[in-house]
């Protein structure tokens, strides 16, 4: 059977129609890389098309950027991906530069022990940051209360 141009077009169309937009938190392995480096790893190793990122600042502010080639990845960043399923985009969350640098098959990128330990660290440091901010708020409002009371 000959594959005509129109058949090819249909094949691409069906492939494209099955792809959707997903978001996933980027692995700590991507921290300090540029968007371009991360996009290349996502495409070449993970089989995902990274199109945008959303960075969450310590104060909770969200900054969205589409294809920001010169921007580097901060710790709390979500990626926006064109992919086939939510399971596929999980690879961007599990990617570990130590364990997966030589992996050739995207399906083999799964949670490893070091990323599990790192995530616990990230979680703890986020908790500590939160506690520091809360303490600062408390001290400031406490000082303010003292000033108002004439001390
Ligand atoms: Zn690992």
Query: Sheet holding 49-56: strands in order across?
Result: 20-25, 77-83, 49-56, 62-66
Centre of ligand 1 from the C-alpha of residue 138, in Å: 39
- What whole-number distance in Å separates Cα of residue 151 and Cα of residue 144? 10
> So what's the pLDDT on residue 75?
87
- What number is the average pLDDT over the span 140-148? 60
Centre of ligand 1 from the C-alpha of residue 141, in Å: 43
Does the pLDDT value for residue 136 go beyond 80? no
Centre of ligand 1 from the C-alpha of residue 112, in Å: 5
Centre of ligand 1 from the C-alpha of residue 23, in Å: 22
Does the pLDDT value for residue 69 go beyond 60? yes
* 109: Cα within 13 Å, side-chain hemisphere: 28
Centre of ligand 1 from the C-alpha of residue 24, in Å: 18
Centre of ligand 1 from the C-alpha of residue 15, in Å: 32
Does the pLDDT value for residue 96 go beyond 80? yes
């Amino acid at each position: 059977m000959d594959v005509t141009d129109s058949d090819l077009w249909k094949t691409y169309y069906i492939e494209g129609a099955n792809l959707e937009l997903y978001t996933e938190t980027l692995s700590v392995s991507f921290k300090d890389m540029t968007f371009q480096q991360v996009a290349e790893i996502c495409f070449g190793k993970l089989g995902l098309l990274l199109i945008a990122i959303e960075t969450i600042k310590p104060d909770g502010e969200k900054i969205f950027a589409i294809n920001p080639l010169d921007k580097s990845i901060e710790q709390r960043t979500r990626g926006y991906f064109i992919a086939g399923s939510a399971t596929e985009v999980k690879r961007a969350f599990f990617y570990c530069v130590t364990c997966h640098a030589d992996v050739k098959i995207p399906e083999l990128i799964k949670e490893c022990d070091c990323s599990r330990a790192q995530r616990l660290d990230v979680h703890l440091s986020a908790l500590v940051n939160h506690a520091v901010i809360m303490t600062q708020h408390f001290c400031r409002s406490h000082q303010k209360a003292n000033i108002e009371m004439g001390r």
